[in-house]
Structure 1
Amino acid sequence: MRRPHEPRYGASLLTDHDIYLFKEGNHFDLHDKLGSHPMTVDGEPGTLFAVWAPNAAAVSVVGDFNEWDAESHPLAVRHDSSGIWEGFLPGIGRGALYKYHIVSATGQYHGDKGDPFARFWETSPKTASIVWDLDYGWGDGDWMAGRGEKNALDAPISIYEVHLGSFAREMGDRYRSLSYLELADRLTEHVLACGFTHVEFLPVMEHPFFGSWGYQTLGYFAPTSRFGTPQDFMALIDRLHQAGIGVILDWVPSHFPTDGHGLSYFDGTHLFEHADPRRGYHPDWNCYIFNTGRYEVRAFLISSAMFWLEKYHIDGLRVDAVASMLYLDYSRKDGEWIPNIHGGRENLDNITFFQKLNEAAYTRFPDIQTMAEESTAWPMVSRPPYIGGLGFGMKWNMGWMHDTLRYFSRDPIHRKFHHGELTFGIWYAFTENFILPLSHDEVVYGKGSLLGKMPGDDWQKFANLRLLYALMYAHPGKKLLFMGAEIAQWSEWNHDAEIDWRLLEYRHHRGVMTWVKDLNALYRREPALHERDFEPSGFEWVDFRDAEASVVAFLRKGARPQDMVLGVFNFTPVARPAYRVGVPVGGVWTELLNSDADVYGGSGLGNAGAVAAQDAPGHGHPYSLEMVLPPLSAVLLTPQNWL
């Protein structure tokens, strides 16, 4: 007779075909096969455990159910050379704490390991995995049925980037973050009030160090327990979806931390990471690098991506630090890296990994998007693998971000000497499907807030910030703004404090939030501002030569001829009362938005809502507008009728 909870062998979720796909690196549903799965076998409830540890001599499950005794619940290795250990433990169910006790082939023990496929973890500093299910009754059917249109390349995509732990804190206790459930209404209401189409969460996957913001991930199949259960996180996503808001997750396949309970030296060998530190250790982040040349590791990572898209109804994945994965010499000196088989610096394994990742994502979920944070000029990041691209849907435009912020940080009196920083981005704007990011990376580590980067007195700082946002929304490319920027936060981001919401008591901060709201509304309403974000036909310079006045003007165009928006931008604090701009059609041009309007905190200069075109050629066009350009302002207009 078996003792209580004595393991039973033979039960398995794996078929021979699963093992075949796993070994060749093409099994992308490993989360349904490996890890811990509550189930019933022969009428007896319990949990089936399965873990990949091919170089182990012995593996057992330890937990609160056996007083962490390594002798009580051994697993059995499969006889198919897969290196997978399995066992069904009766009586073990939802909520049980566990780890794997692994003895290497050389008899060494390196500490109990958390489950790489765990769906739930103890809250740090505790480190055990938790047996859990993913049962949840979704209510986002309407969103899921129609999200393809909301995520399309010709759709308005305006992303609000959020760190869940510091968006808001409990009143009276700045050190308790809100839970997933507490955030559901508050975050949704704020995103709706500002008009963003999507939210993007900094990594929610379980991570041991809160100060890493989630970028040191260990639990690739679990939302952090700091804010609640997996079902609580599902409820947050569900609430956003029901409000018509898409959800993007930051995802980190580039590295993982060295914590002993994690993936490092998992079975007594360098299983997930490269053995040679010239390939397997990242000097910048003091962490390990995945060996995607090992097929099973590739399958592990791609399964993680599929897991979030499938189980959590995620609408997109933003892949972090892509550049660090593409170059073998990334952040390394001569002699600190190993060339590829052709003698080059390109990481051929990771190129293949990205292509397979994106092929799998878009094949299974054609109505989502993948997005690359890639900071170099690597070609065709957002082009299909079948023509040699990496296959991402979009790429962050880091060049635009750096040039634009550098320009805006300059005193306006010097800007005429750096006019090219404004205009250069158009030369490459359509080589990729770009997102324009004003992200968390630009408001930390002493960089100051966006408002703090702006020159001049307080009035000029706010005017410059409104002008920056107008340029971003009018410029080709999808939009991303980090939380706090929409209220012109003075201080740079601190992950241990909430956004400084009290600033909304002040007129200029309320004005910036109103400006962001109106920009989002215009961006969503006007096809010219989003329909051809990735096509040269959607943009036309009117004048980029007026460096002396630091003024630029351009047209954005939609698919229909009548869908047209003119943007005129004055980057100096000098008002220009009779500035002439050429336009292609006559009649009245309606002033859609003016960043200097009183409601936004401006001086109130403008064009009384409209400008009549004159039959006077200008800038190569048959008509022109003689308009008022307020100081440090953007004016956006559209033709009211055609002549």
Structure 2
Amino acid sequence: MQNEIIYGPTLAGEGDVYLFREGTHRRIYDFLGAHPFEHEGRKGVLFSLWAPGAKNVYVMGDFNSWEREGCPLAPRWDSSGIWEGFVPDAEAGCRYKYVIRTAGGELVDKSDPLAFAAETPPASASVVCAPAHEWRDAEWMAARAGKNATDAPQSIYEMHAGSWRRGDGDSILSWRDLAGELPPYLEANGFTHVEFMPVMEHPFYGSWGYQTTGYFAPTARYGSPEDFMALVDALHARGIGVILDWVPSHFPTDSFGLSRFDGTALYEHEDPRQGFHPDWKSAIFNYGRNEVRSFLISSAYYWLDRYHADGLRVDAVASMLYLDYSRRDGEWVANKYGGKENIEAIAFLREMNCALYADFPGISVTAEESTSWPMVTKPVWLGGLGFGYKWNMGWMNDFISYMSQDPVYRKYRHDQLTFGMWYAYAENFVLPFSHDEVVHGKCSLLEKMPGDGWQKAANLRLMFGWMFCHPGKKLVFMGGEFGQSREWNHDRSLDWHELGDERHAGIARWFADLNNFYRGRPELWELDTSPDGFEWIDCSDRDAGVVSFIRRDKRGGALVFAANFTPVVRGGYRVGFPKGGRWREALNSDSSLYGGSGVGNLGSVDTEETGFHGQSFSAELTLPPLGCLIFTPENGADEGAED
């Protein structure tokens, strides 16, 4: 039995179809997908799907008792591969799927690639939805460009929505629950941004969202699309920017998803040497196909446009750039010049970044790029990829490797501590202590630290002090801010009970004080991308394990950072200072307030007009064990006496 379906209504004009086929349409969500619609006084839903290889396309759902071939769609006259049909009396909230008859005659059931909402997994139907929210963030949106700028403080809290906290009975918090609890927590702890691991719909919870099936739908596990909009609005109300992790590099091969969507390799490559990822057992997008580029750019647009996201973090960029990524000889196909560079992916990333920055002023796009690919954050017109920021994976790996060493051996790894400054200005960097460092047997950040319990905590406080004072924006994965002991597990809450232990409470106080101090000191961020903002005082005392440097702002203001990476108190240790007068010990990671031993300089030091370390002034410091000190000039310091 065929249900009533009307042909002719459409949301796609000829220009839309032209741009879609050209690969330059940026908002295909305006005409593809399931849209509540009114035709000649009758309300219903207009369904529109791209499936050029299909022999027939049907839509089934709550509105036709899930009869597979009851509502056939019709192909457009323009050979675009788009199938359309208006189903009267269907409405928002209806579940649906497409049924595709392939060229070979097989019937396959597929979720809508342009679904704006989905059933809660493991169910996989799409849901008719027209998300709407009364936004109250106009002031934030008008000012956010300054929040995402390279000369602004950025302290990013990376988190997984389902395992941050749990409710009664270990229940997962909803988007609305998070809207009440998360913004004040981030504000109190000094964070400027939150970065959500992929919120897009995904079938396997253990993929953390990185195996995406719903490129236009927030996961239903935590509530409705409107609920997620309310969370973003609540974060903006507290002055917190929202960054969404986004995965245009690969997609899962679940039968209801994008894989061989119309019986052909529509979104991926036919050749598994190009279209299948050996690490993640997933499909790789075909960036050379125009409509696929339109699909992906439109997905990026959707989250910035409809959900007011302030930025995207693009996952696994390295896997997109290299045709031989994680492949052996004979397992990949060279480009037309015989090289390993993915020319189509490079072009896509450049096109995407140009479009996003042009149409959404004030946003940021960050690359997780783990190699030394040049000019990731340089403009496209200079030959760069056009990203705003890049995760500094080299700095992170070197620094964690250094910190994990017993202090007695650190002098042999000293270059791992200082090498990052050689390339600190090659890109606009984010310094990441991300989720990837605290899973799969890698231990938590705290447990990576050597020594007994006291030393572990001291090392972690020192580690955070170094990161916050080093050039680059900051990112910490949830739980790190209070030194969670266990590895992160997506199936359980963070171990908030550990805050009842004074050692963890001390780490949390240190992190919050450090983060809030960072936000208020332009010396630590205004010149993040300029060599003018950093000067070594001494980076060569590997035997003592002591390093010191100066951070500066645009007006010539300066602060001094000194760190002792050994458990030995360094008394009478002379350090050069750029200005004379009294310098306040603004922060001391070894303060008893943070669980330290209380070694320090009684709150301040007076410099002497004794040149040292190439500076005109100097002071003898007491450097705490496994600790760092931050000095700022007191009022009355000789502002004109800088060397």
TM-score (norm 2): 0.98
Moved over 6 A (4+): none
Contact 2:2/2:71 (CA < 8 Å) preserved in 1? no
Q: Distance in 2 between matches of 1:566 and 1:177?
A: 44
From 574, 577, 585, give the equivalent of 2:579. Answer: 585
From 560, 574, 578, give the equivalent of 1:566. Answer: 560
From 610, 615, 632, give the equivalent of 1:616. Answer: 610
Q: Give the residue type in structure 2 aligned to 1:166.
A: S
Contact 2:590/2:624 (CA < 8 Å) preserved in 1? yes
Q: Give the residue type in structure 1 aligned to 2:164.
A: F
Q: Distance in 1 between matches of 2:319 and 2:277?
A: 9
How far does residue 440 in structure 1 lie from its aligned partner after superposition?
0.3
Q: Give the residue type in structure 2 aligned to 1:473.
A: F
Q: Which residue of 1 aligns with 2:127?
A: 130
Corresponding position: 1:500 with 2:495: yes
Corresponding position: 1:154 with 2:151: yes
Structure 1 residue matching 2:110: 3-state secondary structure: coil
Corresponding position: 1:27 with 2:32: no
Q: Distance in 2 between matches of 1:249 and 1:519?
A: 25
Structure 2 residue matching 1:137: 3-state secondary structure: coil
Q: Which residue of 2 aligns with 1:482?
A: 477
Q: Which residue of 2 aligns with 1:169?
A: 166
Q: Distance in 1 between matches of 2:338 and 2:315?
A: 26
Q: Distance in 2 between matches of 1:74 and 1:387?
A: 50
Contact 2:93/2:128 (CA < 8 Å) preserved in 1? yes
Corresponding position: 1:196 with 2:196: no
Q: Deviations over 1:375-400 (max 9, x none)?
A: 00000001111111110000000000
Q: Deviations over 1:461-499 (max 9, x none)?
A: 000000000000000000000000011100000000100
Structure 2 residue matching 1:545: 3-state secondary structure: strand
Q: Which residue of 2 aligns with 1:280?
A: 275
How far does residue 108 in structure 1 lie from its aligned partner after superposition?
2.3
From 320, 339, 359, give the equivalent of 2:354. Answer: 359
Contact 2:155/2:474 (CA < 8 Å) preserved in 1? yes
Structure 2 residue matching 1:296: 3-state secondary structure: helix
Q: Give the residue type in structure 2 aligned to 1:161.
A: E
Moved more, 148-157 or 327-336: 148-157
Q: Distance in 2 between matches of 1:264 and 1:4?
A: 28
Q: Distance in 2 between matches of 1:620 and 1:48?
A: 72
Structure 1 residue matching 2:431: 3-state secondary structure: strand
Q: Deviations over 1:424-449 (max 9, x none)?
A: 00000100000000000000000000
How far does residue 366 in structure 1 lie from its aligned partner after superposition?
1.7
From 138, 143, 147, give the equivalent of 1:141. Answer: 138
Structure 2 residue matching 1:112: 3-state secondary structure: strand
Q: Which residue of 1 aligns with 2:43?
A: 45
Corresponding position: 1:327 with 2:322: yes
TM-score (norm 1): 0.98
Q: Deviations over 1:404-431 (max 9, x none)?
A: 0000000000101110000000000100
How far does residue 291 in structure 1 lie from its aligned partner after superposition?
0.4
Q: Which residue of 1 aligns with 2:389?
A: 394
Contact 1:5/1:92 (CA < 8 Å) preserved in 2? no
Q: Give the residue type in structure 1 aligned to 2:82.
A: I
Corresponding position: 1:296 with 2:291: yes
Corresponding position: 1:382 with 2:377: yes
Structure 1 residue matching 2:18: 3-state secondary structure: helix
Aligned ranges 1:238-637 → 2 under 5 Å? 238-561=233-556, 563-637=557-631
How far does residue 452 in structure 1 lie from its aligned partner after superposition?
0.2
Contact 1:597/1:605 (CA < 8 Å) preserved in 2? yes
Q: Distance in 2 between matches of 1:152 and 1:501?
A: 33
Q: Give the residue type in structure 1 aligned to 2:259.
A: S
Q: Deviations over 1:249-296 (max 9, x none)?
A: 000001100100000010010000110000000010011000010010
Q: Distance in 1 between matches of 2:375 and 2:504?
A: 40
Q: Distance in 2 between matches of 1:485 and 1:185?
A: 22
Q: Distance in 2 between matches of 1:516 and 1:133?
A: 41
Q: Distance in 1 between matches of 2:157 and 2:7?
A: 49
Q: Give the residue type in structure 2 aligned to 1:97.
A: R
How far does residue 193 in structure 1 lie from its aligned partner after superposition?
1.8
Contact 1:324/1:330 (CA < 8 Å) preserved in 2? yes
Q: Distance in 2 between matches of 1:181 and 1:99?
A: 28
Structure 2 residue matching 1:49: 3-state secondary structure: strand
Q: Give the residue type in structure 1 aligned to 2:150.
A: L
Corresponding position: 1:55 with 2:49: no
Q: Give the residue type in structure 2 aligned to 1:327.
A: Y
Q: Which residue of 2 aligns with 1:91?
A: 89
How far does residue 5 in structure 1 lie from its aligned partner after superposition?
5.7
Q: Distance in 2 between matches of 1:187 and 1:131?
A: 29
Contact 1:5/1:91 (CA < 8 Å) preserved in 2? no
Moved more, 81-90 or 183-192: 183-192
From 206, 210, 214, give the equivalent of 2:205. Answer: 210
Structure 1 residue matching 2:541: 3-state secondary structure: coil
How far does residue 4 in structure 1 lie from its aligned partner after superposition?
9.9
Structure 1 residue matching 2:121: 3-state secondary structure: coil
Q: Distance in 2 between matches of 1:186 and 1:599?
A: 26
Aligned ranges 1:70-81 → 2 under 5 Å? 70-81=68-79
Corresponding position: 1:114 with 2:111: yes
Q: Which residue of 2 aligns with 1:221?
A: 216
Contact 2:313/2:366 (CA < 8 Å) preserved in 1? yes
How far does residue 66 in structure 1 lie from its aligned partner after superposition?
1.0
Contact 2:2/2:70 (CA < 8 Å) preserved in 1? no
How far does residue 170 in structure 1 lie from its aligned partner after superposition?
1.5
Structure 2 residue matching 1:65: 3-state secondary structure: helix
Q: Deviations over 1:589-613 (max 9, x none)?
A: 1111100111111111111111111
Q: Distance in 2 between matches of 1:374 and 1:470?
A: 25
Q: Give the residue type in structure 2 aligned to 1:330.
A: Y
Contact 1:5/1:90 (CA < 8 Å) preserved in 2? no
Moved more, 37-46 or 248-257: 37-46
Q: Distance in 2 between matches of 1:420 and 1:134?
A: 52
Contact 1:115/1:129 (CA < 8 Å) preserved in 2? yes
Contact 2:2/2:69 (CA < 8 Å) preserved in 1? no
Q: Deviations over 1:72-116 (max 9, x none)?
A: 21111011111000111110011101011111123222x200000
Q: Distance in 2 between matches of 1:341 and 1:278?
A: 15
Q: Deviations over 1:135-194 (max 9, x none)?
A: 1111111111111111111110000001001001113x23x2111111111111211121
Contact 1:580/1:625 (CA < 8 Å) preserved in 2? yes
Q: Give the residue type in structure 1 aligned to 2:19.
A: L
Q: Give the residue type in structure 2 aligned to 1:34.
A: L
How far does residue 70 in structure 1 lie from its aligned partner after superposition?
2.6
In structure 2, do the counterparts of structure 1 residues 105 and 4 end up closer, same or farther at CA, with 3 Å as the change threshold?
closer
Structure 1 residue matching 2:347: 3-state secondary structure: helix
Contact 2:63/2:89 (CA < 8 Å) preserved in 1? no
Q: Which residue of 1 aligns with 2:6?
A: 8
Equivalent residues, number: 637
Structure 2 residue matching 1:472: 3-state secondary structure: helix
Q: Distance in 2 between matches of 1:29 and 1:617?
A: 62
